[in-house]
Amino acid sequence: MSVVALEGVSKIYRSGRVSLTALDRIDLRVAAGEFTCIAGPSGSGKSTLLHLAGMLDSPSRGTVSLLGRDCTGLGRREAALLRRHHIGFVFQAFNLVPVLTAAENVEYVLLLQNRPGGERRQRVRAALEAVGLSAWADHRAADLSGGQQQRVAIARAIVGRPPFILADEPTGSLDSATGTAIIDLLLEINRSQGTTFLFSSHDPRIIARAGRVIRLVDGRISGGDNRSHG
Ligand code: ADP
In the chain, the DSSP E strands lie at 2-15, 18-31, 35-39, 61-66, 69-70, 87-90, 164-167, 196-201, 212-217, 220-221, 226-227
Q: 162-173, pLDDT tens digit by residue?
A: 999 999 999 988
Q: What is the pTM (predicted TM-score) of this model?
A: 0.93
Q: Is 51 in the pocket of ligand 1 (CB under 6 A)?
A: no
Which percentage of the chain shows pLDDT scores above 90? 87
Q: 102-132, pLDDT tens digit by residue?
A: 999 999 999 999 999 999 999 999 999 999 9
pLDDT in the model for residue 173: 82
Q: Is 41's pLDDT higher than 70?
A: yes
Q: Is 8 in the pocket of ligand 1 (CB under 6 A)?
A: no
Nearest-CA residue for atom 15 of ligand 1: 43
Q: What is the rounded (10 degree) CA torsion for 218, 224, 48, 41?
A: -50
| Rounded mean pLDDT, 185-207 | 95
pLDDT in the model for residue 224: 62
What is the overall mean pLDDT for the chain? Answer: 93
| Rounded mean pLDDT, 25-45 | 97
Q: Is 166 in the pocket of ligand 1 (CB under 6 A)?
A: no
Q: Is 92's pLDDT higher than 90?
A: no
Nearest-CA residue for atom 16 of ligand 1: 43
3-12, 89-98, 206-215: least confidently modelled range: 89-98
Q: Is 45 in the pocket of ligand 1 (CB under 6 A)?
A: yes
Q: Is 152 in the pocket of ligand 1 (CB under 6 A)?
A: no
Q: Are strands 69-70 and 226-227 parallel, antiparallel or unpaired?
A: unpaired
Q: Is 229's pLDDT higher than 50?
A: no
Residue 226 pLDDT class (50, 70, 90 cuts): low
CA of 128 to the centre of ligand 1 (A): 33
| Rounded mean pLDDT, 11-33 | 96
pLDDT in the model for residue 228: 52
Nearest-CA residue for atom 10 of ligand 1: 45
